A and B are shown apart, each in its own frame.
Chain A
Amino acid sequence: MSPAWRKRALQSFTVTAGALPAAALVVSALTDELGANPVEHVTHVTGGWALRFLLLSLAVTPLRRLLGWSWAAPLRRTLGLTAFGYACFHYLTYLGLEHFFDWQLIVEDVLERRYVTAGFAAFLCLVPLAVTSTRAMVRRLGRRWVSLHRLVYLAAALGVIHFLWLVKSDLREPLVYAAVLALLLGLRALPWLARSRSRKPTLNEA
């Protein structure tokens, strides 16, 4: 199997896997299986997958660095864009089916309810990342692209906070996401910590 073919197969697999939850929702909608509160169900499902794919996209770099899975590198963009797709689906459901595009209500909601504010801010963070995800934009922005794409950490943190703030009393599920995010961010801090520790002895020697 040639490396190029393998790469393409992996991409197709990721794209297909990313589309499955959306396909399942469509099937549920067509067979009237969305439950008693379909709008709530669609909102929860799409929000959940946006967060899960965002965390998966954040797992690529640590896996590449720690386990040497260099083949996974191109999946980062696919997973990130899948997350953005679900975030759009989630946001459109909120605008259209929760509020029927009543902009006055929507503005009030975003300003007054902190979980909505957090979710909206997370979505705003994702927009420039999706827009600058093309190869041409990566080339054009150069080093600034790397700085800009650090926004993904903020987006993920806001996404987890959005979830934590909206549940009534059962924090278990959002706390799982918070733990995964902490782990993924912690793994990024490891090499940085190791470097700062190894620097100290050289200073002492000098």
Chain B
Amino acid sequence: MLIRRADAIKSSEITSLDLFLRRREFLRGAGWVAAGAVLAPTLACGAEGEARPLAPRAGADANPFRTDEKPTAFKDATRYNNFYEFGTDKSDPRRYAGSLRTRPWSVAITGEVGKPGTIDLDDLLRPHSAEERIYRLRCVEAWSMVIPWLGIPLGEIIKRFEPTSGARYVAFKTLLDPEQMPGQRSRVLDWPYLEGLRIDEAMHPLTILATGMYGQELPNQNGAPLRLVVPWKYGFKSIKSIVEIRLARTEPPTSWNLQAPREYGFFANVNPDVDHPRWSQKRERRIGELRKRPTILFNGYADQVAHLYQGIDLRKYF
């Protein structure tokens, strides 16, 4: 697969940092009518409210798409993985993911879309350029990494399939094939793995479908050939090896929530104030560091996403 690096984007297509930081002001000025009927019902609540600061908060990333924090060693990011389809030990995915065949690969786009269908992955990706995004990744198990992903904003892909006004959620499904994914032979989870987002979360510019990392194709153990990356949510939301994207009217079932509803919510936003029932979420160990560091609300992306959850009790909807 051709991976277009971020520098392949025409300079005319790149949003200036200044405009990006003032984008809400810009959008408000442009008027929400233009945002379209699809997004209006769910985004409306985020459009109102007091003016938010235009400059990033102290300590926040100057560019949220590319944090300045030091990326995790490639070796660690590819040997310490939670991908239960290949076993529950962190070293299992690297050991056993070789059996996954990532080409040919097709993705079904179904549900509330004007143009449903099953599309070959290369055809799905062809019209887009992969951009590099350097994001923090916070696992629900209280460890974290910084990963340079290569991906495409999910919103751009969804728009191509013309979501209907009934599309309020997006549901994702991982491949189900115990031949290729030996971990699926044991019933540690109810396979296939399922995840979901609210439509406004899915359309958010931070949300991407990743096809690569560290400047190369995604290693199998990291979710090849196509995975979700939602940097302000716990890692289990970022579903791997996706075969189906379904636009839905109602909140879709999600695997960890089905497994233990008291422990894993649908939203699963990174939040130091809402502990997992069995362990604390106040601090995290950045892989490569010894001492733990404090966990930040929305994994440090509050300036970009907090408005999506205005008026929502984050303790109740964790």
Taking the nearest CB of chain A, how far is it from the CB of B256, in angstroms?
Answer: 8
Whether A39 contacts B290 in the complex (CB less than 8 A), given A169-B188, A169-B189, A169-B259, comes out as yes
CB-based nearest B residue for A41? B90
Residue contact B278 to A39, C-beta cutoff 8 Å: no
Residue contact B287 to A36, C-beta cutoff 8 Å: yes
Residue contact A114 to B278, C-beta cutoff 8 Å: yes
Taking the nearest CB of chain B, how far is it from the CB of A34, in angstroms?
Answer: 11
Taking the nearest CB of chain A, how far is it from the CB of B202, in angstroms?
Answer: 26
* Interchain CA distance A172-B88 in the complex, whole Å: 10
> For the complex, is A205 an interface residue (Cβ under 8 Å from B)?
no
Residue contact B186 to A165, C-beta cutoff 8 Å: no
Q: Contacting A113 at CB < 8 Å: which of B186, B189, B280?
A: B280
Which A residues are in CB contact (< 8 Å) with B75?
36
CB within 8 Å: A-B pair count? 52
Which B residues are in CB contact (< 8 Å) with A166?
278
Which A residues are in CB contact (< 8 Å) with B79?
35-36
* Interchain CA distance A36-B90 in the complex, whole Å: 10
For chain B, give the interface size range: 20 to 34
Residue contact B91 to A172, C-beta cutoff 8 Å: no
> For the complex, is A198 an interface residue (Cβ under 8 Å from B)?
no
Task: State the main secondary structure of chain A at its contact with B.
Answer: helix
Interface residues of A in 94-115 (CB under 8 A from B): 97-98, 100, 108-109, 112-115
Taking the nearest CB of chain B, how far is it from the CB of A166, in angstroms?
Answer: 7
Which B residues are in CB contact (< 8 Å) with A108?
280
Residue contact B279 to A97, C-beta cutoff 8 Å: no
> For the complex, is B80 an interface residue (Cβ under 8 Å from A)?
yes
Residue contact A37 to B280, C-beta cutoff 8 Å: no
Whether A36 contacts B76 in the complex (CB less than 8 A), given A97-B290, A169-B260, comes out as yes
Residue contact B278 to A165, C-beta cutoff 8 Å: yes
Residue contact B143 to A170, C-beta cutoff 8 Å: no
Interface residues of A in 2-49 (CB under 8 A from B): 35-40
Which B residues are in CB contact (< 8 Å) with A98?
292
* 7 nearest A-B residue pairs (beta carbon): A36-B80, A36-B76, A170-B88, A170-B188, A36-B287, A169-B188, A169-B259
Query: B: which residues have CB within 8 A of A?
Result: 73, 75-77, 79-80, 84, 88, 90-91, 141, 143, 186, 188-189, 259-260, 275, 278-280, 285, 287-288, 290-292
Can you name 22 A-B residue pairings with CB atoms under 8 Å?
A: A35-B79, A35-B80, A35-B91, A36-B80, A36-B288, A37-B90, A37-B143, A37-B285, A39-B285, A40-B285, A98-B292, A100-B291, A100-B292, A108-B280, A113-B280, A114-B278, A165-B278, A169-B259, A170-B88, A170-B186, A170-B188, A172-B186
